[in-house]
Amino acid sequence: MAMNTVDIFERLRNGEIILANDPEAYRMREESFVTKKLLVQMNNTPDPDEIRNLLSEVTGSEIDQSVVVFTPLHINYGKHTRIGKNVFINFDCVFLDLGGITIEDNVFIAPKVSLLSEGHPTSIEDRHSLIPKAIHIKKNAWIGAGATILPGVTVGENAVVAAGAVVSKDVADNTIVGGIPAKLIKDINS
């Protein structure tokens, strides 16, 4: 059997299932501890500029001056998270980003929101494998307090996810969804 020579993080970003016995799987845990060290610093400073600078280091990309993050923020990797301009992230959010998280401009993320871009198979034999699927939050979306966005979901432009919702399917532009599992409540324009 040929050995996969593509970096595990690239494979994750491409949506490849990572088996429990993957020879590079240990790297996910190692990188999480590097990220955790930066998050300890970020989550213990009151300075918004220092928060943005440390978040830039966590994500490996520049965080715009217009972005506001109320810490704590918990991220397991960071390098697969992209944050646009004029984004507000409230207290105590969790981003599992090995599968990729994109947050476009003008997005509101309320307290205790979870963006979970990775999951596991339900079969007992394969449960320790990791299934990555990117999350995309489009412009002007508002994710309500305590909402959970599951792997592979796109939240449309101007959409609202009600507080406490669990979103397992894409949310159309200009709609409001809520509930467990989240369902259409109404069109914003009606």
Q: Integer distance in angstroms from the first to the last C-alpha of the chain?
A: 57
- Residues annotated catalytic, as ranges: 120
CA pair distance 56, 79, nearest whole angstrom: 9
* Token pair belonging to 81: 């998270």
| Residue 129 to residue 11: CA distance in whole angstroms | 13
